[in-house]
Amino acid sequence: MTAAALTAPLITCPEPDRDCPLCPRLHDFIAEWRRREPSWFNAPVPTFLPPGGEDTVRLLIVGLAPGLRGANRTGRPFTGDYAGDLLYGTLIAHGLARGEFKARPDDGLELVQTAITNAVRCVPPENKPVGAEIATCRTFLVPTIARFKNLRAVLALGSIAHQSTVRALGGRVAAYPFRHGGQQQAGGITLFSSYHCSRYNTNTGVLTEAMFVNVFREIAAFLEQ
C-alpha cells in the first residue's frame, strides 16, 4: 500500500479552512487570540512546501501542533520558537533546506524535497490537544500524506505525532511503537521517529542536538538510496 492508495473516503482537502469549526475548543481559543493579537496569523497553519511543489516532496515531517507564539503567530510550521531553530538548522545542514532561518515566514528559507506539517493544525491551549482533536485533524493529515505521490519517508516528532501518523497510514499503534531513532515500514512508507525538538526536551536532556542530528543523518542516507 502506498501513500497515494490510502482509503478513498478519507481523502478530503489536505488543508483546513481558515475558520475551521471542527474542534470547538481550538476554534474558540483562536478566536480569543484574534481579538487579543489581530496582527498574528491565528488560524490553522498550512503545510510548508518546497518551491518545486508537492511532486518534489520525498520527506514529510509531522510535528504536534503550532506553538502559540510560534507558528500560530507567524503562519509557518516551527517558525518563531526554539524548536524551529533546531529543526531548520538541522535541515539546512543535511541539504533538506537552503537559505538562512531567521524565524520569520519571509526570511527566504526554502525546503528541499521536504514538507512540514502538524498532526493538529490549530494551536491548542497549553500546547496540549485532546484525543478527539487529534483524531478530527487526522482527516487533514491523511490527504496531506496522500498528496505527495513521490513520498518515501515520514519523520514524526514526538509520540503523539507518531501515533497519529501510524493511524493515518492505516496501521495499529500497538504494532508500531514509538521510540526515538525508530525506523519502521508503515503503509508503504518508511516511518522515522524522534523525540520532539522542543526547548523542554532539549533543556531536560531528553533530546540532545547530537541525537536529533543522528536521526537526520539516517534519513538523508535513506533518501540517497
Q: Cα–Cα distance between 135 and 125 in angstroms, integer? A: 17
Mean pLDDT of the chain: 94
pLDDT at 10: 45
Radius of gyration of the chain (CA): 16
Q: Cα–Cα distance between 70 and 120 in angstroms, integer? A: 14
Residue pLDDT, tens place only, 51-105: 999 999 999 999 999 999 999 999 999 999 899 999 999 999 999 999 999 999 9
Question: What CATH superfamily is the domain 24-224?
Answer: Uracil-DNA glycosylase-like domain (3.40.470.10)
Q: Cα–Cα distance between 225 and 157 in angstroms, integer? A: 23
* Residue-range domain boundaries for the chain: 24-224
Which uninterrupted H or E stretch holds 184?
strand 183-186
pTM of the model: 0.94
